[in-house]
Structure 1
Amino acid sequence: MSTANLLRLFLLAAIWGGSFLFMRIAAPVLGAAVLIEYRVLFASLFLAAVGVFLRKKLDLKQHWKHFLILGLFNSALPFLMFGFAARTLSASLLAVLNATTPLWGTLIAAVWSRTMVSGKVLLGLALGTCGVALLVGFDHVSSKPGAGLAIAAVLFASFNYGIASNYAKQAKAVEPFANAHGSMWASTLLVLPVLPFFPAPGDPTVGIMGAVIALGVLCSGIAYMIYFRLIQDVGPSSALTVTFLSPLFGILWGVLFLGETVGWYTFAGAAIVLTGTALVTGFRPGWGFLRKATA
C-alpha cells in the first residue's frame, strides 16, 4: 500500500469515527429523522456538485430500483437507527457496536446462500457476541432509560449494513461514484415521509448545524469518495482495515471533545469484537502493507 493510500485509510477511519461524535452532538436537538434528512440531503448536494465537476451522470432510468434498495439498507434505515441511538448512547459505544457490521454480513451471507459456516467463523461470531455483552454489561450508559432500545437500534443498523453488503455483491455492477451519489438521493426521498411524525425536539444553533453539515458533507460525501478510491486502488480486503480503525477514532473523539469516560471494559469489549470480526472476515493483520508504504 502506498503512503498516499495509507494516509487515505487513516483519514477515512478518523472521518467515520467522527460521524458518531457529530451525531451525538446533533441528535438530542434535532431528533433522528430531521438529523438524517439533513445528513443525506447535504451529502446528495455535495456529490451532485462533484458529479457536475467530474462530468459524471446518473443513469436513473436504468438503476433507480438499485439506488432505492441500496439507499434503504445502506443509508436511510441504519442512519435513522444511529440517529435515534445517539440521543442516549455515547459516541464511544456507538462506534464499537458499529464494528459488528461484518459479523452480521457474514451471518446473512450464510443464510442467503444456505451454506454452513466454518468453526473459525462460529468462534468469531461467539466472540463478537461476548464483546457486545461485555460492553453493554459494564458501560454505565447502558443503565440510562431507553438504553436497551438504543443498543438494539444500533445492532439493527449494523444488520442493515450487512444486508446492503450482501445485496451489493449480488446486484448488477454500477460505477462506485454513481452508487454513492444515487443512494444518497434515494435516502433523501426515503427519509422525507418520516419527518412529519418525528419533528425536531429543539431549535438548532450554529454549532449544531455545523455538526450536521460535517456529518453530511464530510462523513458521507467525502468519506464515500475516499472509500471507493481505496477499493479501486488497494481492493476491498485492504479497504476493510477501516473497520478495525474507526472504532478507535470514535472512542478518541468521544473522550477528547465530549469528555466521555471509558474504562477497561471499553477497550476489552472493543478488542473482543474486533478479534471476532477478524476471524469472521478472514482478515489477517500482516504488516507488509506498512513496510511498502513508501513504495
Structure 2
Amino acid sequence: MNLASLLRLVSLAAIWGGSFLFMRICANAFGPAYLIEARVLLAAISLMLVAMYFKRQLPLLEHRRHFFIIGLFNTALPFLLFAYAAQTLPASILSILNSTAAIWGAAIAMIWSRNLPSVKVVLGLLSGVIGVAILVGLDQSHLQSGSGWPIIAGVMAACCYGIASNYARYAPKISSFNNAHGSMWMASLIVLPLLPFMPMREDPTLTMSASVIALGVVCTGLAYLLYFRLIEDIGAASALSVTFLIPLFGILWGNLFLDELVGLNTVFGAIFVIVGTMLVTGFSFKSLRTSRVA
C-alpha cells in the first residue's frame, strides 16, 4: 500500500467514524425517518452530480429490483436502525456495533452455504459475541437507561450489512459507483413513506443542519467515492481494513466533541469485536504489504 492509499484509508475511517458523531447530534431533533431521508437524498444528489460530470448513465429502471434490495438492506434499514439507536447510544458504541457487520456476514454465509465453519471463524464469531456482551454488560455508567432496544437495533443494523454482502455475491454485475448511486435513490424512496409517521420533534439548530449536510454529502457521498477508489487501488480485501479503524475514530470523535466517557467496557469490547472481525474475514497485515498498487 502506497502513501496515497494509506491516507485515503485513514481519511475514510475518520469520515465513517464521524457519521456516528453527526447522527448522535441530529437524531433526537430530526427523528430517524427525516434524518435518514435527508442523508440518502443528499448523498444521491451528490453522486448524481459526480455521474453527470463523468457522463455516467445510471440503469435505475433496468435494474430496479437489484437497486431496491441493496437500497433496503445496505442503506435504508441499517441507516434507520442506527439513527434510532443514536437517540440513546454514544457514538463510540454505535461505531463498535457497526464493526460486527463482517461477523454477521460470515455467520449468514455459513447458514446460506451450509458449510461447517473453520476453527478460526468459530473463534472470530465467539470473540464478536463476547465483545458485544462486554459493551452491554459491564460498566454501564455512561449508558442511558433503556439502552437495550437501541443496542439491539445497532446489532440488527450490522446484520443488514451482512445480508447485503451475501446478496452481493449473487447480484447482477454492476459497477460499484452505480450500486452506490442507485441504492441511494432507492433508499430515499423507501424511507419517504415513513415521514408522516415519524415527524421531526423540534426545529433543528444551525449545528444540527450542518451535521445533516455533512452526514449526507461527506459521510455518505464522498465516503463512497473514497471507498471505491481504495478497492481499485488495493483490492477489496485490503480495503476491508477500514472496518477495524472506524471504531477508533468513533470513540475519538465522541470523546473530543461530545465529551462521551470511554469506559473499560468500550475499550475491551472494541478489542474483542475487532479481533473477531479479523478472524472471520481472514484479514492479515501481510495483505496490506502485498496488495496491488494502481
Partner of 1:79: 79
Alpha-carbon deviations, 1:100-153, whole Å to 9, x = none? 000000001111111111111111101110111111112426753331000000
Please list every run of 5 or more consecutive structure 2 residues that lacks an aligned counterpart in the other structure: none
Partner of 1:282: 282
Partner of 2:210: 210
Q: Look up the SS of the partner of 1:146 in the other structure.
A: coil
Counterpart Cα distance in 2 of 1:187 and 1:86: 19
Counterpart Cα distance in 2 of 1:85 and 1:61: 33
Counterpart Cα distance in 2 of 1:280 and 1:198: 37
Partner of 1:149: 149
Counterpart Cα distance in 2 of 1:33 and 1:139: 31
Partner of 1:100: 100
Partner of 2:229: 229
Please tell me whether residue 21 in structure 1 is matched to residue 21 in structure 2: yes
**Equivalent position amino acid for 2:49 in 1:** A
Counterpart Cα distance in 1 of 2:288 and 2:235: 15
Contact 1:142 1:148 in 2 (8 A): no
Please tell me whether residue 88 in structure 1 is matched to residue 93 in structure 2: no
Partner of 2:164: 164
Partner of 1:58: 58
Contact 1:141 1:147 in 2 (8 A): no
Partner of 1:111: 111
Runs of 4+ in 1 over 3 A off after TM superposition: 290-293
Question: Are the structure 2 counterparts of residues 54 and 113 from structure 1 closer, same or farther at C-alpha, using a change threshold of 3 Å?
Answer: same
**Equivalent position amino acid for 2:211 in 1:** A
Question: Are the structure 2 counterparts of residues 118 and 44 from structure 1 closer, same or farther at C-alpha, using a change threshold of 3 Å?
Answer: same
Partner of 2:239: 239
Counterpart Cα distance in 2 of 1:111 and 1:267: 31
Contact 2:67 2:186 in 1 (8 A): yes
CA apart distance, 1:268: 1.2
Q: What are the equivalent positions in structure 2 for 1:160-199 lying under 5 Å apart? A: 160-199=160-199
Task: Supply the RMSD in Å over aligned alpha carbons.
Answer: 1.8
**Equivalent position amino acid for 1:111 in 2:** I
Counterpart Cα distance in 2 of 1:142 and 1:163: 31
Question: Are the structure 2 counterparts of residues 53 and 291 from structure 1 closer, same or farther at C-alpha, using a change threshold of 3 Å?
Answer: closer
Counterpart Cα distance in 2 of 1:55 and 1:146: 49
Counterpart Cα distance in 2 of 1:269 and 1:118: 23
Please tell me whether residue 254 in structure 1 is matched to residue 254 in structure 2: yes
Counterpart Cα distance in 2 of 1:290 and 1:141: 44
Partner of 1:70: 70
Please list every run of 5 or more consecutive structure 1 residues that lacks an aligned counterpart in the other structure: none
Q: Could you state the TM-score of these two structures normalised by the residue count of structure 1?
A: 0.96
CA apart distance, 1:19: 0.3
CA apart distance, 1:288: 5.7
CA apart distance, 1:280: 0.7
Alpha-carbon deviations, 1:217-254, whole Å to 9, x = none? 00100000110111111111100000000110000000
Partner of 1:40: 40
Contact 1:36 1:83 in 2 (8 A): yes
Counterpart Cα distance in 2 of 1:287 and 1:141: 39
Counterpart Cα distance in 1 of 2:170 and 2:248: 31
CA apart distance, 1:168: 0.9
CA apart distance, 1:267: 1.2
Q: Could you state the TM-score of these two structures normalised by the residue count of structure 2?
A: 0.96
